[in-house]
């Protein structure tokens, strides 16, 4: 059913990674992604992979969930992997007609597969260990400098929070309406593409109507509590950098330094 | 032969995951043709799950539902036919309206059944009449109706399928007192005219007492009682233990009796109580 969709879901816990400040998690994640793509040989790639796996283990979340997030894009990984085999230069290993497989191609394929896999798993760390509200708070803080350019950062963050908050609500609503229409004989499971799209109209219209109703109610509720935007608003939970953040930063800097050194002193195998 | 028979019905949500939850365990009962059955239970007692099993919206983990003597999941491809025979009106059904006109919305079910234009037209009109929707409303957009009218239109959409069993999940929730009374009478009237079977889920003991022949009481996913309305409401203590109560008027009669006024406590409606008290005062 629709409910089984896993949307970067948050898994509450008390691990070291959970305790990190959401802002440092976002920044470190970006840095990790950059360094995953900066590593040019097997040694630096291995280093960043092992470091990422260490972070994943530190979250104390069952590894099964990370594999599940990989499963979603398995096709993309395999497809780009296979495609990459045929690109690249270097020693020709195999030739048949117009197909040539080179050493560089194989290296490219292995790199691209590992890079995407690690990228997805390390990104899952952020969504698994950070509650959506912390996440949007952190994004708001990080984007704050943009308000110099008159970008309404607080409003963007509020919209994100609300959107995230209402995903489960609308999933449930969809489920309800689908059941109600099924009870009147709606058939979502058979017919060709056009028939199926047409069968969804009785679900989409009520859903649309109810989302407007929800938005209206929410706006009223917010106004009743005198919500008036981001100026001079204080927070219930103030974000603080802690010792854990310092430790995470140090660890990551060491890893990044290692990647740079390995890149400098060992030959690159890709490109 | 019974219209609906539930045998060892069990439903476990999310089996094998950490979210596993037993919504219903080993429920057995039989409902006869033409009966009006009230279904009560506290929030989360499995009422909604149970009714969704009866019309094949959910598939039981274990056990069988028989509709007119036939296992409804015998041919999974024909489950739609089961849904036409066991019509289901959900809670707040007005949120499922979607067509341009009320007429078209009521005709959605009959059309899905593959009925002819003429037959559909007949059914739409008679269903609208049963729920008391005025003729001119049929050509309005459902979104222009009032809350109560929307509710009626949605109920008519299920009645138009002319189901053997009509399942109503809290049809009067959120209506004003008058709308509630009128809707109840219309349902009663529909039941008398069509002589079909009705399963009526409600939190209002007064409504249930007024219209049901028998009451099925659910508690924590299990069948607690299934007996005539009189017998169920005679067990006040048992009902209170599971977060339910008896109709207020029945309670008043019981209290009168406790104070030494010798009245019959098998009273379910205000009219009955009125007559009983007049009787008592007369003697």
Mean pLDDT across chain A: 85
Q: Which of B83, B95, B98 sits opposite A183 (nearest CB)?
A: B83
* 3-state DSSP percent of chain A in helix, strand and coil, to 5: 70, 5, 25
Distance from CA of A112 to the nearest CA of B (A): 33
pTM over 0.80: no
Q: Determine the pLDDT at residue A8.
A: 55
Indicate whether A239 pLDDT > 80: no
Q: Give pLDDT tens digits for A172-184.
A: 899 999 999 999 9
- Residue of A70, A59, A51, A67 whose CA lies nearest to A10: A59
* Domain membership flag for residue B261: no
Which of B 68-107 lie inside 8 A of A, CB atoms? 80, 83-84, 87-88, 90, 93, 95-98
* Interface probe, candidates B112, B155, B166, B167, chain A, greatest A C-beta count within 10 A: B112
In chain A, what is the straight-line distance between the N-terminal and C-terminal CA atoms, in Å? 44
Classify the phi-psi angles of A232: left when phi > 0, otherwise alpha if psi is within -120 to 50, otherwise beta. left
Q: Name every chain A residue with its beta carbon within 8 A of the beta carbon of B78.
A: none
- DSSP annotation of B44 reads T
Q: What is the mean pLDDT of residues A23-44?
A: 91
Structure tokens at A99: 């197909």
Least confident stretch, A77-86, A160-169, A213-222, B219-228: A160-169
pLDDT of residue A2: 44
Q: What is the pLDDT of residue A4?
A: 47
**pLDDT tier at A1 (50, 70, 90 boundaries)?**
very low
Total of domains in chain B: 1
Contact with chain A for residue B36, Cβ under 8 A: no
Question: How many CB pairs (< 8 A) connect A and B?
Answer: 52
Q: Does pLDDT of A199 surpass 50?
A: yes
A204, pLDDT greater than 90? yes
Locate B154 and state its tokens: 């949605």
Any domain includes B259? no
Residue A197 has what pLDDT?
A: 87
**Complex ipTM value:** 0.86
> In the structure, what pLDDT confidence band is assigned to residue A141 with cuts at 50, 70 and 90?
confident
Helix (H, G, I), strand (E, B) or coil at A62: coil
Note down the domain range covering B51: 2-229
Count Cβ atoms within 10 A of the Cβ of residue B114 and give its class: 0-12 exposed, 13-18 middle, 19 or more buried.
exposed
**How many other CB atoms are there within 10 angstroms of residue A254's CB atom?**
12
Nearest chain B Cα distance for residue A185, angstroms:
6
Q: Do A185 and B57 touch (CB under 8 A)?
A: no
pLDDT in tens, A64-103: 888 888 888 888 899 988 888 887 777 777 777 777 788 8
Neighbours of B176 (CB within 10 A): 11
Interchain contact B139–A (C-beta under 8 A):
no
Q: CB contact, 8 Å: B171 with chain A?
A: no
For B96, the closest of A181, A185, A187 (CB atoms) is A181
Domain ranges of chain A: 2-265
Q: pLDDT tens digits, chain B, 283 residues: what are they?
A: 789 999 999 999 877 666 778 889 999 999 999 999 999 999 888 898 999 999 899 999 999 999 998 999 988 888 888 999 999 999 999 888 999 999 999 999 999 999 999 999 999 999 999 999 998 999 999 999 988 899 999 999 999 999 999 999 999 988 888 888 999 999 999 999 999 999 999 999 989 998 999 999 999 999 999 999 999 998 888 999 988 989 999 999 999 999 988 888 888 888 889 999 998 888 7
CATH of the domain at B167: 3.40.50.300
Determine, yes or no, domain membership for B270: no
Give per-residue pLDDT as tens, A145-156: 888 888 888 888
Contact with chain B for residue A185, Cβ under 8 A: yes
| Angstrom distance (rounded) from CA A79 to CA A100 | 17
Tell me which chain B residues have a C-beta less than 8 angstroms from the C-beta of A201: 98
Closest residue in chain A to residue B83, using alpha carbons only: A183
Phi-psi region of A92 (alpha: psi -120 to 50; beta: other; left: phi over 0): beta
CB-based contact, B109 to chain A, within 8 Å:
yes
pLDDT digits (tens, 9 = 90+) for A106-130: 888 898 999 999 999 999 888 888 8
Q: Which residues touch B100 (CB under 8 Å, ≥6 apart)?
A: B141
Residue B283 counted as domain residue:
no
What's the rounded Cα separation, in Å, for the pair A67 and A74?
A: 10
B172 assigned to some structural domain: yes
pLDDT band at A271 (very low <50, low <70, confident <90, very high): low
**A172: chain B residues, CB-CB within 8 Å:** none
B112 by Cβ neighbours in 10 Å (0-12 / 13-18 / 19+) ranks as: buried
Q: Residue B265 domain-assigned?
A: no
Lowest mean pLDDT among A65-79, A214-228, A246-260, B194-208: A65-79
């Amino acid at each position: 059913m629709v409910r089984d969709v896993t949307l970067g879901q948050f898994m509450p816990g008390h691990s070291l990674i959970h305790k990190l400040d959401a802002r440092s998690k976002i920044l470190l994640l970006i840095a990790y992604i950059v360094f995953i793509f900066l590593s040019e040989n097997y040694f630096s790639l291995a280093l960043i992979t092992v470091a990422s796996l260490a972070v994943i283990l530190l979250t104390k979340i069952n590894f099964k969930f990370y594999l599940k997030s990989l499963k979603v894009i398995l096709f993309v990984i395999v497809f780009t992997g296979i495609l990459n085999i045929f690109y690249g230069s270097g020693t020709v290993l195999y030739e048949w007609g117009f197909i040539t497989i080179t050493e560089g191609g194989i290296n490219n394929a292995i790199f691209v597969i590992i890079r995407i896999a690690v990228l997805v798993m390390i990104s899952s760390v952020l969504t698994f260990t950070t509650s959506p509200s912390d996440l949007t708070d952190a994004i708001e803080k990080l984007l704050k400098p943009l308000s110099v350019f008159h970008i309404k950062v607080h409003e963007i963050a509020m919209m994100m929070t609300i959107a995230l908050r209402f995903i489960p609500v609308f999933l449930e609503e969809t489920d309800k309406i689908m059941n109600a229409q099924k009870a009147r004989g709606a058939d979502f499971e058979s017919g060709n593409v056009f028939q199926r799209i047409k069968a969804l109209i009785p679900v989409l219209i009520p859903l649309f109507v109810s989302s407007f109703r929800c938005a209206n109610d929410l706006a009223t509720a917010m106004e009743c509590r005198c919500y008036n935007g981001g100026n001079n608003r204080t927070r219930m939970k103030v974000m603080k950098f802690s010792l854990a953040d310092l430790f995470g930063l140090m660890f990551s800097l060491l890893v990044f330094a290692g990647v740079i050194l390995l890149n400098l002193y060992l030959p690159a195998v890709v490109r | 032969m019974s219209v609906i028979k539930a045998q060892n019905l069990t439903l476990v949500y999310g089996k094998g995951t950490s979210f596993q939850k037993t919504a219903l365990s080993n429920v057995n009962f039989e409902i006869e043709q033409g009966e009006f059955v009230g279904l009560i239970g506290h929030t989360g007692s499995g009422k909604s799950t149970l009714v969704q099993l009866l019309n094949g919206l959910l598939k039981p983990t274990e056990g069988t539902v028989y509709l007119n003597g036939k296992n409804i999941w015998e041919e999974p491809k024909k489950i739609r036919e089961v849904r036409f025979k066991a019509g289901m009106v959900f809670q707040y059904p007005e949120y499922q309206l979607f067509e341009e006109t009320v007429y078209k919305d009521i005709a959605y079910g009959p059309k899905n059944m593959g009925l002819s234009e003429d037959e559909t037209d007949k059914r739409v009109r008679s269903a609208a009449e049963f729920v008391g929707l005025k003729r001119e409303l049929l050509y309005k957009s459902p979104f222009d109706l009032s809350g109560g009218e929307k509710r009626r239109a949605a109920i008519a959409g299920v009645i138009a399928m002319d189901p053997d069993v009509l399942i109503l999940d809290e049809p009067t929730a959120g209506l004003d007192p008058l709308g509630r009374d009128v809707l109840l009478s219309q349902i009663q009237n529909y039941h008398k005219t069509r002589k079909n079977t009705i399963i009526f889920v409600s939190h209002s003991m007064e409504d249930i007492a007024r219209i049901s022949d028998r009451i099925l009481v659910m508690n924590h996913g299990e069948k607690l009682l299934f007996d005539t309305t009189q017998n169920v409401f005679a067990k006040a203590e048992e009902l209170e233990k599971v977060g339910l109560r008896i109709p207020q008027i029945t309670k008043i009669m019981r209290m009168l009796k406790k104070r030494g006024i010798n009245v019959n406590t098998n009273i379910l409606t205000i009219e009955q109580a009125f007559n009983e008290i007049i009787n008592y005062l007369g003697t």
